[in-house]
Amino acid sequence: GDGKLFVMPVTRTVRIRTGEENEAALTIEEAATVSDSRKKK
């Protein structure tokens, strides 16, 4: 590359898969709970 970095304000965000926009599109989805089979019973 030529070593240039362009910085621009983000005015709108869209999560394509769900259609969420702006703040909702920037939040992390809840992770699924995975049981740990290594725990002693």
pLDDT of residue 39: 66
pLDDT of residue 34: 67
Cβ atoms of 21 and 14 within 8 Å: the answer is yes
pLDDT of residue 16: 95
pLDDT truncated to tens, each residue of the chain (41 aa)? 789 999 999 999 999 999 999 999 998 876 666 666 676 66
pTM summary value: 0.48
Cα 27 from Cα 29, distance rounded (Å) = 6
